[in-house]
Amino acid sequence: MAVAALPSREELAAWYELLGRDPHEVDEAGGMEPLSSAAGITSIRSAAGAPEPATGEEVADHLLGLADWVGTVAEEPSAPEVTELELAAEETAEQLYERLRELSDRIGADGTVRSTFFRRAAWLVDELPVQEQARFGRLIIDRLQQDPFAERFAGHLNDLALATLIVTVARHERLDASDLARDVGRTAERHGTLLRLVDAVSQSLADLEDAHRLRRHGGHEQVGPLQAAVDPAVLSSVSAAISEEDRELAESFPLEVEQGRALALVTLVDVFLAGPREEQLPRLLENVTLRLREAVVRGDAALVGEVMAALERGVQVASPEVRAAIERAWAQTLTGQVVADAAVSLAREGSRLQARVLEPFGAAAIGPVVRSLGEDVGDAIKEELSHLLGEVAEGHRALLHDQVSRQRPDVIAQLLPVVARADDPSAQALLARLASRSEPELLLAVVDVLERQPPVTAASTVAGVARRAAAPEVRRRSLEVLAGLGEPGREELQALGSGRAEPRLPFRWRWTARRLLHRARRPG
């Protein structure tokens, strides 16, 4: 390929779509050149027949040692042998790794077989128990520079799939996922997008686990009409006769009720039960995710409820591998950006995003709404989002505070006045936890909120900030707040000024504490 000019965003999108196609499909269409021309791509050129399998003629025989090499290579696997790969009973990560590596070594330069093999290999890894997935991921990460199979396996994963594998390893080994992603990114020469995706996957998994934990402890999840209407017995009798038209309907179900939306969603569940074809599942879930996001942005609570109900039903009836794919798509649908876009879009129409639109997501909506306040939106929108957060998180205050603590310092500072209620014990625990951090902006926000809390509970936390803070403005502000917290604050000031507090304040700050204490005790 050659880049003749700076591609436009539309040309790049079309080019990436072409690159994602199966090589056999590209070959049947005459190669990349006619496809790119039909797609309106003028800035990127490629050979007429590309991509073509290697012929061996690219390298001279005396350099390749072709005759000796051919005599030692095992017979190449057939396409059916690759497409019918299955996980063996109780197969471990190490056993699967060795089996896949041996098969990979036998695959020649045929792009179709190779691409199919690595797609199928990724599916097999997804079928492993989570701890075995983590062990397989560790094998890949550790051998990226030594083992060609590990390098090829990682190379065939898109950034999102690789990010998910990294997060699985990090969570299993109790490592920082971002640090692990940086190491992998340097080794595998991946773009910085990988880091952002690792953070997004980590947040999504945390949201999903929060929702599951809430469900296990008796939390109420709203469901739409489809979950009660679709009976498993009906599904099993229908699934055996799903036509190609049914699959296409499920894959691109309409938005409008009058266009058969209910039928398309029922068919979607049928396809989940029957088992989507390997190449169909990513397209199907991508469309579901897109429709859900569009429905949230439009404030269409009915559609959100119906699609989420269909997904929940799919999780109940699908095979483990399809179930895992559905749950990943579900977890990645609602993001802070989607919530912010919805709030902005509806505000332009003179409306606002209602809590009932996010209700089908259950407790998993709390994290995205929290993160939406960190997006680039105006103050009026942030005020609306803060109000929405209070509605979505009602009854889940501990979960809300846990989500808040994961955000950037500037976002936490913005959220604290909204979430830190004086009558909430979990809010006091959040403030105490944040008071041990080191970021000046965050500590100032914590002290400002504590100033409005009951002095009996606030004074000791503010004094702790004064003792530990390195920034002069934080220490000064903490001492000033203590002076206004009544008798509990004056007791802490006296201890700080006397030098009895550990760690001991420098003389300058002990003198400031004594001066503020004297002023606070002065009548009037």
What average pLDDT does range 310-332 have in this prediction?
Answer: 83
pLDDT at 155: 84
Torsion of CA 351, 301, 343, 368, to 10 degrees: 160
Average pLDDT over residues 135-140: 94
- Quick check: 354 and 301 in contact, CB under 8 A? yes
Q: Round to whole Å and give the CA distance between 520 and 364.
A: 46
Q: Is the model more confident about 58 or about 433?
A: 433
| pLDDT average, residue stretch 48-63 | 49
Whether 269 contacts 228, CB under 8 Å: no
Instruction: Tell me the pLDDT of the chain averaged across its residues.
Output: 78
- Higher per-residue pLDDT: 56 or 172: 172
Query: Confidence class of residue 109 from pLDDT cuts 50, 70 and 90?
Result: low
Q: Once rounded to an integer, what is the mean pLDDT over residues 84-102?
A: 87
Domain boundaries of the chain, sorted by first residue: 2-45, 222-333, 420-524
Evaluate if pTM is beyond 0.85: no
Where do the H-state alpha helices sit in 174-279?
A: 177-188, 193-216, 225-229, 232-239, 244-251, 261-274
| 3-class state of residue 6 by DSSP | coil
Task: Report which of residues 275 and 474 the model is more confident about.
Answer: 474
Q: Is 407 left (phi over 0), alpha (psi -120 to 50) or beta?
A: beta
Strand partners, 2: 45
Tokens of 8: 């436009």
Distance CA 200, CA 164 (A): 9
User: Percent of the chain at pLDDT above 90?
Assistant: 15
pLDDT of residue 225: 30
Q: In this predicted structure, what is the pLDDT of residue 276?
A: 73
Partners of 3 in beta bridges: 44
Question: Is residue 296 pLDDT above 90, yes or no?
Answer: yes
Strand partners, 45: 2
- At 255 the pLDDT is 53
pLDDT attached to residue 160: 75
Give the model's pLDDT for residue 244.
52
Q: What is the pLDDT of residue 291?
A: 85
Q: Place 92 in a pLDDT band, splitting at 50, 70 and 90.
A: very high
- Tens digit of pLDDT for each residue in 413-466? 878 887 777 667 778 888 888 888 888 998 999 999 899 888 988 899 999 999
Q: Where are the beta strands (DSSP E) in 377-478?
A: none
Tokens of 29: 């269409």
Strand partners, 44: 3
pLDDT-derived band at 377 (thresholds 50, 70, 90) equals confident
pLDDT of res. 169: 93
Model confidence over 215-258: pLDDT tens digits?
444 443 333 333 333 344 333 333 444 445 545 555 555 555 55
C-alpha span between 111 and 53 (Å, rounded): 6
How high is the pLDDT of residue 238?
Answer: 38
Residue 382 has pLDDT above 80, yes or no: yes
